[in-house]
Structure 1
Amino acid sequence: MSHVVRSTALGAVVLALALPAGAHAAKAKPKHTVTVNTVDALPKTTLKNLSRSCGKSKSASRIRKRSTSRPTKNRVRTVTTYCSGGTRTVFWIQKVTKTVTVPGPTVTVTTPAAPAPTPTPAAPRDFRLTLLHNNDGESKYGVGDSIVNYGGVTRFKTVLDRLRGEAEGVPTAANEDKGTVVVTSGDNFLAGLNLRASFERRDAGQGSFYDAIALGRIGYDAITIGNHEYDFGPTRLAQLISSPELATVPFITANTDFSAEPSLAPLRASGRIADSTVVTKGGQKIGIIGVTTPDVPNISSPGPNVKFLADVAGIVNTEAERLTKAGVNKIIMSSHLQNLEYEKTLVKSLRNVDIVISGGGDELLAGQNDLLVPTNGLAGGPRPGTAGTYPATSTDLDGNTVPVVTTQGEYRYVGRLTVKFDGAGKIVETDAAKSGPVRVSALAADPDVVSPQDAFLKANVTDPLDTYKAALAANVIGTTEVALDGGNPDPIRIKESNLGNLVADGFRFAANRTAAADNRPVADIAFSNGGGIRTSIAGPGNLNEKQTFDVLPFDNVMVTVPNVSVAQLKSLMEWGVSRTPTGDGKFPQISGFRMNVSTNALYTAQVQTGTTITTPGTRVRDLWLTNANGSDGEQLIANGAVVSNRTVNIATSNFTANNGDSYPFTGTTFQFAHRPGQDGFYPYQASLYDFITTPGAAGGLGGVVTAARYPNGGSGRIALRTTP
């Protein structure tokens, strides 16, 4: 027999009928089916049509209506008829949209179901975020690369993994999710032996930068681009980003335009460099926006094609709004603006940013009970000063309190901030017990000494670097009778230093030894920016090749800037001392001249916008060229006034001559120096190496740095005073 099954807008209806006792199921296939659209649409002829389907027997003509049930809105109405000992039953309901013929003795019809209720949206869930962060790692991968007994990437990784495990093990409430985000806020590599070893390794086809191996192993969710990433030009940065170890980690900066730089534009187009990234932790989304200091062209070497946009607040607000509209309600700004106070001020112009990581300033935020790295690296050593408690806070445009966090760099600390967001994405609680700097100690006497080291990083980063550096340290190139002071900021960025004098003398020596061969003029004077001199040399004792790289680690080369007027020389020196006595990387360490400088309030510190002088300085009161024996020669400036119409030729680094540190070499050109017997330009590190090792008869030091020529505190080349 056949049964008619109808699907309705109310859902499928299921009904099973049993045949009455003695009834027989029809063996023939159904001749036809009847479709009923509404309850009232059953025509009187329907029964007659049905009777004809029963066959041609005489009993078929005596078909009669047996029973009828009245339908309700959702109930099936049935009509049952007899036919030759069997039955035929027609089913219909109020709405019918489809008719299906189903063979078999049993009818299955879907019972009308009530309309499905509209789903109730799940209540927004709270979120416990653990932010693990650091900044200014600066290629300091070994213990002691930063300070004795502390730091080191192998132990840093161990601490970070422990903190990550602790965060994952914290129980949560029924309506709460949790997750951990790991971010570095820039200056991830820095010139020095470690980075030089990385370059040599990659250039020889032996593998990626050691920096890439380390950063990849740490497991960052986002890497912010700082200023030092450009120290060797955009091509080296592109090589780092393209390393296979970092293929899944976005490099972020929202205020940088790479479109005209061939080495970086493809990485921006492919998403390897991005304005921001969104990570999902514990089922919830967290946005991370990157920012880089717009001052990069003045303090690094990005080349002419990379553009840095100054409207940081506007750019961040636009990106934060975009993320918010995309459903991200927890947003971190990872910035490398080089000043914690600047970032705190910036927050006042922001909205939709919940947390700020500050990079580049090397400030330390900590509580009274936090274990900190002693200033001398020794057990029981002096406790360092701090810039405030962790976290610092500021208030945004909408009146929300925004945590601002940072740590001292060089892998000495892992920063940890633990906060709770409510379902609307607002911070409602900071877990003070689980927030603050966590130091990285290798000192056995410390209660928090870190063990074990990460074995992978030890085998693939720190051990090979130790071998590389040991070979250079074994190459003794001379001796020094005195300690050579390159302390940062004091003295190298504040006042004259004997190491600064040695470096500047080396600049003049290197530029002049090949001047004739290069068809360059002989340099009358030389100077180095203090920021280009990176460490001290202990003494008395031996000098080795490694120390020359430690002191002068950048990829700078020697140049001569010819025919500089005395007026412009004065502007250059006024800019160099404009922030004295505050430490600044542009402070000049000089050779071939002497000057008197007064910081008295009667005299004006030079003010510039970029390299454009808006307020000329008047601090440089006197300036003399020096004779070969160190005595005063021609006076060029007297009582603040230019008294000579001559020009001078200046030896310096290409960084400074290219307006690095905003030195106003406006309208000048420079010529590169070449190292004798070698192709390519003259590395500024080699200027120190060659000056120390070259015999005295050829203008060098003959392997001895004497206390008479380079006494502690300098030899009076820059006389600073506070009196008029």
Structure 2
Amino acid sequence: MSCIRSYLKGGLAGLMVALVSAGPAQAVTFDLTILHNNDGESDIFGSQSNPDFGGAAEFTTLVKGIQSSGGNVLTLSSGDNFLPGPEFDASLADGIFYDALLLNEIGYDAIAIGNHEFDSGPGILGDLIQAYNDAGGTAPFLSANLDFSSEPALSGLAADGKIASSTIVEKGGQQIGIVGATTPNLSFISSPGAVGVQDPAAPVQAEIDALTAAGVDNIIFISHLQGVDEDRELIAKLEGIDVAIAGGGDELLANPGDELIPGDTAADSYPIFSEDKTGKAIPIVTTAGGYNYLGRLDVTFEDGDVITVNGGPIRVAGGSQPDAVAPDPTVQSNVVEPVQAFVDSLDQTIVGTSEVEIQGGRDIFRAREANVGNLLADAILTSAQQLSSNFGIENVDIALTNGGGIRNEDPIPAGDISRADTKSIAQFSNFVTVIEDVKAGKLKEILENAVSRIELDADGNPVRSGEGTGRFAQIAGFSFEYNPTLTAAQVEGEGLNVTTVVDGERIQTIILNDGTVLVEAGRVVTDATVDIATVDFLARGGDQYPFNRSDFTSLGVTYEQALADYISNELNGLISAGDPRYQPDGEGRITLTDAVPSQDPASVPEPGTVLGLMALAGLGAGTLRRRQTA
């Protein structure tokens, strides 16, 4: 059994960890270079803020250079290999899966399945895997905790071994077992169809045990659990893993002396270590996404135990940088250029002009009100109000959408707004949807889920915390106050079967734009209902939104189309600097409060009481319809 003995400076990224093992006199040592990345997400063009860095063609050049330099090189992806958006739309428009061509050209030995692979449904994932194989790709797509047998679009690929739980790769005469896993949250953060999702602990351990029984001593775990903290938690339940390659969290691990892209800072050292079930120290590595970094971990095995690890991230540089590499010509001509041509055509379709910068970055719209969130929620509400009568719906009162559905990581500067910009904000195939007759108490329950992953930083600012932070809501047609220091809601289940197992106490007020009060001092003060415009992903229980309703109406327009139409038509092509709704950080729709809840936050005042009469009258403001429905 291996154990950490000392940490020594030096090596590729400034860190050498020496481990010792009481092996036999004739120990067999084996050196392996692991190249890895995660969260490519179809982001093939590189960094917008630092144009000399990143890019799929330059990334491929780096990979091929190391693969061809001799030695035993293993190349792995830890998931989210493509993502709906402007770049991926080029594949759908041209009928060529450019991401499949890229994956083949990089030359992976195994590819983990991430959550975004299912964002356009299992059929698109199946088509992409088939296109990858047709292009000559041979690496299996791995996930031990997903069951594909009931999903027609993927079951055949699983039966043929194109999708698998694990695989064995031979390098330098040694067998290496690779086991994959996908976040157990898949069912409520993406659209996997009939794919079954299990907690990964048992199926991953079963694959490790099967590999070990087959005589495979070197085991690598590639996962897309959405962050290294989730990998630490899982590894503590497992035994037999030698190295873990994480994905989904976008953490940048690096050591002093590593060359990073300007402005980037390391979240932790490379690698980090976590103990498995037996107390063995397991090295964990990951990289930031978007083809901006290539991870390199040099490992020495001795009789199946890791005795040294050494490595770090390699930034992907181009232009005039001293470590610049030339774009891979095949990727450049067959992937980058046609995708660029498609995106350029979107850039030329101008829907309006903005006098303010549109905010970007998940740390913003997954934790607090943002002008991009207000813009999108207003667009969803306006679209629903304009189209609802065609579906027999009288009125739509409010709108909400999840921060996880907003995808522009970089801010959009003031100036022309193109379809490329609206697609960068609203990348998924989400359709504007109306859910009718939602009681005020149910709306409070929904919003408790939305704010349940928020904490305060040292300066008292709201920040996202833990997994599932995409559930934070951006809203229109109402405002709410909440206290993130109070009890957070806890929910279980998925889809239409989400159950609140711990009632949240954070939502203190909910007030419609017409002045009607639904919640005051943490108490529901009316039994009235509202019609909510949202996206079908949330209506189906995505991000564990507890709508628990099968009767919703999709209006046949995507949220991206609604956004483009809203800017062009409703705003007359101008996002004005004088419009308070779209100021930086919004207009105060979502605010913090230090108020505490009443003793019974879910109670409705009795009809006939003074408080009850005031509530039903909207406190003298507003004319909210009251419908007595379940």
Deviations 1:143-173 (A, max 9, x none): 335853311011001111222234x1xxxxx
Deviation at 1:246, TM superposition (A): 5.2
| Corresponding residue for residue 278 of structure 2 | 398
Deviations 1:106-144 (A, max 9, x none): xxxxxxxxxxxxxxxx96632101110000000011133
SS at match of 1:328: coil
Deviation at 1:588, TM superposition (A): 0.7
Question: Contact 2:294–2:316 at 8 Å: present in 1 too?
Answer: yes
Counterparts of residues 158-307 of structure 1 (less than 5 Å): 158-166=61-69, 168=70, 179-202=72-95, 208-243=96-131, 244-245=134-135, 247-303=137-193, 305-307=194-196
Question: Contact 1:334–1:357 at 8 Å: present in 2 too?
Answer: yes
| Corresponding residue for residue 126 of structure 1 | 29
Deviations 1:306-349 (A, max 9, x none): 11111x22222211111111111111010111120221232222
- Does 2:306 align with 1:427? yes
RMSD of aligned alpha carbons:
1.7
Deviation at 1:520, TM superposition (A): 2.8
> Which one of 53, 59, 81 corresponds to residue 156 of structure 1?
59
Match of 1:288, as an amino acid? I
Deviation at 1:612, TM superposition (A): 1.2
Distance 1:143 1:621 in 2: 43
Question: Contact 1:562–1:650 at 8 Å: present in 2 too?
Answer: yes
Question: Contact 1:364–1:406 at 8 Å: present in 2 too?
Answer: yes
TM-score normalised by length of structure 2: 0.85
| Corresponding residue for residue 532 of structure 2 | 650
Deviation at 1:718, TM superposition (A): 0.9
> Which one of 463, 473, 484 corresponds to residue 582 of structure 1?
463
Match of 2:301, as an amino acid? F
SS at match of 1:163: helix
Distance 1:723 1:571 in 2: 18
- Does 2:481 align with 1:596? yes
- Stretch deviating more after TM superposition (291-300 or 473-482): 473-482
Match of 1:708, as an amino acid? G
Aligned residues: 552
SS at match of 1:504: helix
Question: Contact 1:553–1:685 at 8 Å: present in 2 too?
Answer: yes
Question: Contact 2:107–2:137 at 8 Å: present in 1 too?
Answer: no
| Corresponding residue for residue 345 of structure 2 | 471
SS at match of 1:398: coil
Distance 1:201 1:261 in 2: 26
- Does 2:17 align with 1:144? no
SS at match of 2:516: strand
SS at match of 2:161: coil
Question: Contact 1:521–1:649 at 8 Å: present in 2 too?
Answer: no
SS at match of 1:489: helix
Deviation at 1:568, TM superposition (A): 0.2
TM-score normalised by length of structure 1: 0.74
Counterparts of residues 309-708 of structure 1 (less than 5 Å): 309-310=198-199, 312-375=200-263, 384-422=264-302, 424-430=303-309, 432=310, 435-444=311-320, 446-450=321-325, 452-490=326-364, 492-535=365-408, 537-580=411-454, 581-583=462-464, 584-600=469-485, 603-610=486-493, 611-627=498-514, 633-667=515-549, 669-673=551-555, 681-694=556-569, 700-708=570-578
Deviation at 1:214, TM superposition (A): 0.4
SS at match of 1:297: helix
Deviation at 1:668, TM superposition (A): 5.0
The structure having more radius of gyration, on CA atoms, is 1
Distance 1:723 1:620 in 2: 10
Distance 1:267 1:192 in 2: 25
Which structure would you say has the larger RCO, counting Cα contacts within 8 Å and 6 or more residues apart?
2
Question: Contact 2:433–2:535 at 8 Å: present in 1 too?
Answer: yes
Question: Contact 1:227–1:299 at 8 Å: present in 2 too?
Answer: yes
Deviation at 1:235, TM superposition (A): 0.3
SS at match of 2:192: coil
Match of 1:229, as an amino acid? E
Distance 1:502 1:258 in 2: 38
393 and 159 in structure 1: CA distance in 2 versus 1, 3 angstrom threshold: same
- Indicate the percent of aligned positions where both proteins have the same amino acid: 41
Match of 1:558, as an amino acid? V
499 and 399 in structure 1: CA distance in 2 versus 1, 3 angstrom threshold: closer
246 and 591 in structure 1: CA distance in 2 versus 1, 3 angstrom threshold: farther
Question: Contact 2:357–2:412 at 8 Å: present in 1 too?
Answer: yes
Distance 2:124 2:484 in 1: 40
Question: Contact 1:520–1:671 at 8 Å: present in 2 too?
Answer: no
Deviation at 1:659, TM superposition (A): 0.9
Between structures 1 and 2, the one with greater helix share: 2
Distance 1:470 1:625 in 2: 41
Match of 2:539, as an amino acid? A
SS at match of 1:514: helix
- Stretches of structure 1 that go unaligned for 5 or more consecutive residues are 1-121, 169-177, 203-207, 376-383, 628-632, 674-680, 695-699
Question: Contact 1:140–1:146 at 8 Å: present in 2 too?
Answer: no
Question: Contact 2:46–2:290 at 8 Å: present in 1 too?
Answer: no
Question: Contact 2:354–2:415 at 8 Å: present in 1 too?
Answer: yes
Runs of 4+ in 1 over 6 A off after TM superposition: none
Match of 1:404, as an amino acid? I
